[in-house]
A = this chain, B = another copy of it.
Amino acid sequence: MATSASRLKILRLERPELHGADVFRHTIRCMLEHHDVTVRVRYAETDQMGVVYHSNYLIWFEIGRVELMRELGFDYKLMEINDDTFIVVADVHCRYHLPARYDELLTVRTRILETKSRTLKFGYEIFRQSDGKLLATGHTIHVACDRAGRVKQFPEKYKTAFLKMSPPIIERSRA
């Protein structure tokens, strides 16, 4: 897996014109790059506490990353069918700040936090559209696997697309 150093090298290989402040600007741009998708809370997603049951946020995260991928130009569905590449969930974290409620319109904001040869890390923020309040934050880590569940490398076209939206590692490691 790529170290911080090799990731910077990758950035330089990919964008040889960048150096000094440009690298910094590029990094900032990457930090800001995200994809927003709207979901409306379903009745089935609430529980008797009158708020959304917490496991549903993970399903919204899934919608967030799938739509981010579509924005990048490919269907996750075809990634499975045509390229025998499944992005299996290996790790998930969610922090709940405020409860989501029935019928609310939410924005699921998704970023790629890290792209490696075999793994991918997404970050999520969920906002309530009516007042812009942040309801939840989280991340998921995924491993590329084939249909049989064996770990594999991401096909090049995906890795390239993911890297374009990934922040250069060197910045990340300072955070």
Contact = CB atoms under 8 A, between A and B. Distances in A.
A75 interface: yes
A43 interface: yes
Contact of A62 (B44, B77, B88): B44
Contacts of A94: 91-93
B103 A75 contact: yes
Copies in the complex: 4
A53 to B, nearest CB: 5
A42 B62 contact: yes
A93 B93 contact: yes
B103 A66 contact: yes
Nearest to A98: B149
Nearest to A99: B149
Contacts of A90: 95-96
Contacts of A103: 66, 75-77
A22 B56 CA distance: 44
Nearest to A39: B42
Contact of A47 (B48, B58, B93, B99): B48
B48 A50 contact: yes
Given A91-B96, A93-B93, A96-B90, A102 B59 contact: no
A53 B50 CA distance: 13
